[in-house]
Structure 1
Amino acid sequence: MTKVNQQLRLPSGRLLAYDEYGAPDGAPIFYFHGSPSGKLEYGLFGGEVLADRLNIRMIVPDRPGLGRSEFQPGRQIGDWPADVVALADQLALARFAVLGYSGGGPYAAACALKIPERLTRVGIVSGTAPFDEPGLSAGIDSTSLRFMQLARTKPRLSRLTLRLMAIMARFAPHQIVKGAMATLPVPDQAMLTHPEFQDRFIAMIRGALRAGPRGAQWDTALMVGPWDFRPYDVRSEVYLWHGEMDASAPIAMGRYMAAAIPNSHAFSYAGEGHLSLISNYLEEILNLLIA
Structure 2
Amino acid sequence: MKKSFAPTAPRNEGTIQLKDGRTLGYAEFGASDGMPVFYCHGFPSSRLEAGIGSAAALAHGLRLIAPDRPGFGLSDAAPQRTLLDWPQDLRQLADHLRIGRFAVLGVSGGGPYALACLTALSERISAAGLVAPLGPLDEEMGQRAMQPFFRLTFFLATRFPILTTFLYGQLLVPLLRRCPTLLLPLLRTSHPDMPVVRRPAIRAAMIASIREAFRRGGRGAAQELILYTRSWGFSLRDIGLPVHLWYAGQDVTVPPVIGKALCERISGCQPHYCPDEGHFSLAYAHAGEFFRVLHQAIIRASSLSDYP
Q: TM-score, normalised by structure 1?
A: 0.92
Contact between 1:132 and 1:225, CA under 8 Å: does it hold in 2? Answer: no
Residues 117-170 of structure 1: per-residue CA shift (max 9 Å, x gap) = 101101111001110234222210122211233234333432343354434434
Equivalent position to 1:169, from 169, 176, 181: 176
The SS at the match of 1:235 is: coil
CA distance in 2, matches of 1:73, 1:210: 17
* Aligned residue number for residue 109 of structure 1: 115
Equivalent position to 1:16, from 11, 24, 35: 24
Q: Kindly provide the amino acid, as one letter, of the partner of residue 22 in structure 1.
A: G
Q: Kindly provide the amino acid, as one letter, of the partner of residue 12 in structure 1.
A: D
1:103-252 pair list within 5 angstroms: 103-163=109-169, 164-181=171-188, 184-252=189-257
Q: Does 1:2 align with 2:11?
A: yes
| Structure 1 residue 174: Cα displacement | 4.2
Which has the larger displacement, 220-229 or 28-37?
Answer: 220-229
1:56-75 pair list within 5 angstroms: 56-75=62-81
* Aligned residue number for residue 34 of structure 2: 26
Q: 1:179 to 1:244 in 2, by over 3 A?
A: closer
| Structure 1 residue 227: Cα displacement | 1.5
CA distance in 2, matches of 1:50, 1:262: 28
Q: 1:150 to 1:40 in 2, by over 3 A?
A: farther
Cα RMSD (Å): 1.7
| Structure 1 residue 55: Cα displacement | 1.6
Q: Does 1:77 align with 2:83?
A: yes
Contact between 1:36 and 1:220, CA under 8 Å: does it hold in 2? Answer: no
Q: 1:24 to 1:179 in 2, by over 3 A?
A: closer
| Structure 1 residue 76: Cα displacement | 0.9
Q: TM-score, normalised by structure 2?
A: 0.88
The SS at the match of 1:248 is: coil
* Aligned residue number for residue 58 of structure 2: 52
CA distance in 1, matches of 2:125, 2:244: 13
CA distance in 1, matches of 2:165, 2:149: 16
| Structure 1 residue 3: Cα displacement | 0.6
| Structure 1 residue 173: Cα displacement | 4.3
CA distance in 2, matches of 1:79, 1:124: 19
Q: 1:63 to 1:160 in 2, by over 3 A?
A: same
Contact between 1:50 and 1:283, CA under 8 Å: does it hold in 2? Answer: yes
| Structure 1 residue 237: Cα displacement | 1.1
| Structure 1 residue 39: Cα displacement | 1.0
Gaps of 5+ in 2: 1-9, 297-308
Q: Kindly provide the amino acid, as one letter, of the partner of residue 106 in structure 1.
A: P
